[in-house]
Amino acid sequence: MGAVTLAQAYHALAAVLLLGGFLVWTGAEVLRSFRRSGFATAVLGLAAVVWFVAWLWFLPEPDLAGISRNVVLVVGVLASLATFKYMPDLLAVRSLGVLMMFLARHTLDAGYTHLPYSLLAASVSYGCLVIFGLWWASSPPAFVQQCDWVLASTFRHRVLGALFCGLGLACVYQSFHLA
Provide the residue-wise pLDDT of the chain in tens; the chain has 179 residues. Answer: 567 888 899 999 999 999 999 999 999 999 999 998 999 999 999 999 999 999 888 888 888 888 889 999 999 999 999 999 998 889 999 999 999 999 998 898 888 888 888 888 888 888 889 999 999 999 999 999 999 999 999 999 999 999 999 999 999 999 888 74
Report yes or no on 132 lying in a domain: yes
Host domain of residue 117 = 6-39+90-176
CB within 8 A of 124, min separation 6: which ones? 13, 17, 107, 167, 171
Q: Domain total for the chain?
A: 1
Report yes or no on 24 lying in a domain: yes
Report yes or no on 79 lying in a domain: no
